[in-house]
Amino acid sequence: MTQLTHHTETASQTGGPFVHIGLAPLQAGFEIFQNNFGNVLVKPDTQGERIAIEGQVFDGSGTPLRDVLIELWQADAEGHYAHPADPQPSTFRGFGRTGADFDSGVYRFETIKPGSVGGQAPHLCLVLFARGINIGLHTRLYFSDEAAANAKDAVLSGIEWEVRRKTLVAQREQRGSEVVYRFDIRVQSHDPAQETVFFDI
């Protein structure tokens, strides 16, 4: 009779702790590239309502991830992307990349509020990378002050667990003259209703 031996699963390969050096070197303290992607998407002549996006990314224990890297892609204020497939390609690049602040775990983007795209509610597309994540996690950010549009959005309303739809809605805050949307992301949670919805893309 053959005896089965229990073996520990081999660790998988992930982005590792040095992913920032290659993808966001300035934030990691390295001046490698002449042009860098950053967290400020706006220029002085960018049209649209100036907003900031802030939040933290939490693991299953409720601990903020400090090595997370987030990429953002969005349309301009008129609902057009900087992409040749768009019927009216935008001059607004609409792409940003940032890591979380190592001390606080807070990430931040400075951008504009996007317009509606193809009948969808205004939204941002986000991708997360970090140690322990083998494939980038794709999610969306919707806006709390767009309730009517959110209710009609096919992607948001298509989420089967209705209670989890709120995990994709950022809350608007007025901080003096600045508009900030708070968007915390929970990669895992003991309460499934609090776990952020991710998309298989």
State pLDDT tens for residues 130-157. 877 778 899 999 999 999 999 999 999 9
- What is this structure's pTM? 0.84
Would you kindly state where each structural domain of the chain is located, as residue ranges?
19-194
User: Which residues fall within 8 angstroms of residue 154, CB to CB, at 6 or more apart?
Assistant: 119, 120
Would you state the torsion angle of the CA atoms of residues 103, 105, 109, 115, taken in this order, to the nearest 10 degrees?
A: -170
CATH 2.60.130.10 for domain 19-194: yes
pLDDT digits (tens, 9 = 90+) for 154-191: 999 999 999 999 999 999 999 999 999 999 999 988 88
Q: Which amino acid is at 48?
A: G
Q: What is the token pair recorded at 104?
A: 């606080």
Contact 100, 64 (CB under 8 A): yes
Residue 51's DSSP bridge partners are 111
Helix (H, G, I), strand (E, B) or coil at 100: coil
User: Which residues fall within 8 angstroms of residue 81, CB to CB, at 6 or more apart?
Assistant: 73, 74, 75, 89, 90, 94, 117
**For residue 31, is pLDDT > 90?**
no
Contact 196, 65 (CB under 8 A): no
CA gap 95, 72 in Å, rounded: 6
